[in-house]
Amino acid sequence: MTDVRRLVPRTDAVLALPAVAAAAQRLGRALVKEAVVAAQGRARAGEIAPGDVADAALAALPGTPTTLTPVLNATGVLLHTNLGRAPLSAAARAALDVAAGTCDVELDLATGGRGPRGTAAIDALLAAVPGAAAAHLVNNGAAAIAMVAACLAGGGREIVIARGELVEIGAGFRIPDLLTATGARLREVGTTNRVHRDDYAAAVGEDTAFVLKVHPSNFVVSGFTHSCGVDELTGLGVPVVADIGSGLLAPHPLLPDEPDAATTLAQGAALVTASGDKLLGGPQAGLLLGAPGEGAELVGRVRRHPLARAVRVDKLTLAAFEATLRGPVPPTRTALDADPRDLLARAQRIADRLRADGVDARAVESDSTVGGGGAPGLTLPSAAVSLPEPYAAVLRAGTPAVLGRTERGRCLLDLRAVPPESDDALAGAVGRAR
Ligand SMILES: *Cc1c(COP(=O)(O)O)cnc(C)c1O
C-alpha cells in the first residue's frame, strides 16, 4: 500500500494553483499558506484525501483578512458595548469607502492649496444643533472630557463635581480618574444621593476652572435623592460643562430623562460633550459643542491645545460622522423608534416560518433596553422569537453569528436592534442551527 503521506501535494504546488494564488492576492500569502499547511496536516492524518488539500484550504479561508466577525444583535440591547455600539447607516458605510482611499480631507480642490480639515463634519453637527456656535470632534467621549479638563484645569485648577456623578463608564474606566490624569484637581460636592446649588456655590472659588455635570448614564439612584440641573448651576461665575454621554442632539419623546445637546445648551451649559456612537448612531467619536460666546471661545482653546493632535479624528471618522448626520436616519434611531406591534408582526412571521420547518419557535413580547450608557432603567416594549435554550450557543458560533439572550430557559431573539432587512438572515441562521 502506498503511504498517503507521500501523495500529499507540496505547499508550493498548492499555492501555485490559480484559485489558491487568487486567494493569496485577496487575503495575503501568509494567511493562505497557513490554511494550506493545515489542510496538508489533515490529509496526512487521513481526515481528507490528498487530492482535496487545495479545496479544503480554500474552504477554510475567511472572507477578509480581519478576524472580526459580523454579529446580528438580537439581544434587545440597542447599543451593545461588546458588539461595537451603534451600527453605521448604509450612507456612512459608503462614505467610509470614499474616505478609505486618497481624498480631499485637507485639500481645496478649487485652488489646489491646503484646505481646512473636517469642516464639513463640523458644519453638519452645527446644522443639527442650531444652539451651538462652535463644535469640535475628537476620538471618543472620554477624549472630549479629558480635553476640556486638560485645557481648562490642567495646571492644577479645580473641577467642581457632585459626588453622585463620579461615574465608572465601563471596563474599569472612571471619569474622576480621567479628570485627575490631566493634572486637574477635583472638588467633590454633596453626598452620594443629594446635592444642592448651595453646595456648588460654596465650593466655587479662585481656583475653580469649571463646574462639571456628568449624566449618570448607566445607573439610577432612587429614593431620597436630589441633583441640580444645568439651569441651576449657571450664574456661579464659572462655566458649566455638561457631559451628556449619549449624543442625543435634541429631545426624544421615548427618552424623557435622557439629556440632549440642544436643551442642555439652552439651559446655559457653556460646553456639552458626548459620544458619537451611542444614540447619535454614528462612528466612535467625541463631540464638543460650545454655546455662543464663552463656550465657542472654549472650543477654540481645545482645538488649539497641543493634546488636540493626539486625539484628532481620522478621515474615516470624519466621513462616517458627516454622512450619519446628513444622510438618512441611522439604524440606531430607526430601531429606537420601531413600533412594538411591527416588531411582534416580524417575530410572528419568522416564528411561523421556522415552525413550518419543525423548529420549536414562537413569537413573544419582550423588553428591550437602550444599553451602551444611555437611558438607564428604561425598557422599550419589544418582541422576540423564542427558541429552546440550546440554540443560543449554536447561533453564536454560526455564520452570520447571532447573539440573543437567555431568559427563563429560552433563547430569545429580540428584534428591536435587528434591522428588518436582516430577518431572512436571522431565520436562515436559526434554520441551519437546528
Ligand atoms: C459613554 C459615556 C462616556 C464615555 O464616552 P466614550 O465615547 O465611551 O469614550 C462618558 N460619559 C458618559 C456620561 C457616558 O455615557
Distance CA 257, CA 374 (A): 10
Distance CA 237, CA 204 (A): 8
Identify the bridge partners of residue 274 per DSSP, sorted by sequence position: 245, 287
Question: Mean pLDDT across the chain, nearest whole number?
Answer: 96
State whether residue 280 is helix, strand or coil: coil
Which residues have any ligand 1 atom within 6 Å of their CB? 140-142, 169, 214-215, 217, 243, 245, 275, 286, 373
With a cut of 60, say whether residue 1 has pLDDT above it: no
Distance CA 256, CA 253 (A): 6
Question: Of the residues 147, 166, 167, 169, which should be mutated to test ligand 1's pocket, given the most ligand atoms within 8 Å of the CB?
Answer: 169
Q: Residue 296 is placed in which grid cell? A: 465657542
Nearest to 378 by CA among 255, 245, 221: 255
What's the one-letter identity of residue 370?
V
Of all atoms in ligand 1, which is nearest to the CA of residue 143? Answer: 9
**Full set of structural domains in the chain with CATH:** 4-60 (no CATH), 71-84+333-432 (3.90.1150.180), 90-328 (3.40.640.10)
Residue where the block lists cell 421615548:
254
The answer to whether the CB of 209 falls within 8 A of the CB of 153 is yes
Of all atoms in ligand 1, which is nearest to the CA of residue 215? Answer: 13
Identify the bridge partners of residue 275 per DSSP, sorted by sequence position: 286
With a cut of 80, say whether residue 260 has pLDDT above it: yes
The answer to whether the CB of 417 falls within 8 A of the CB of 75 is yes
- The protein residue whose alpha carbon is closest to atom 15 in ligand 1 is 245
Q: What is the mean pLDDT of residues 66-70?
A: 93
What's the one-letter identity of residue 74?
A
| Percent of the chain whose predicted confidence (pLDDT) is above 90 | 94
What's the one-letter identity of residue 171?
A
Per residue in 299-311, pLDDT (tens digit) is 999 999 999 999 9
Per residue in 141-164, pLDDT (tens digit) is 999 999 999 999 999 999 999 999
- The protein residue whose alpha carbon is closest to atom 7 in ligand 1 is 141
Q: Residue 366 is placed in which grid cell? A: 419582550
State whether residue 166 is helix, strand or coil: coil
Distance CA 219, CA 11 (A): 56
Ligand 1 centroid–CA 167 distance in Å is 10
- The protein residue whose alpha carbon is closest to atom 11 in ligand 1 is 245
Ligand 1 centroid–CA 245 distance in Å is 5
Position 171 scores a pLDDT of 84
Strand 240-245 versus strand 271-275 pairing type:
parallel
Per residue in 321-360, pLDDT (tens digit) is 999 999 999 999 999 999 999 999 999 999 999 999 999 9
In the structure, what pLDDT confidence band is assigned to residue 2 with cuts at 50, 70 and 90?
low
Nearest to 71 by CA among 80, 62, 63, 61: 80
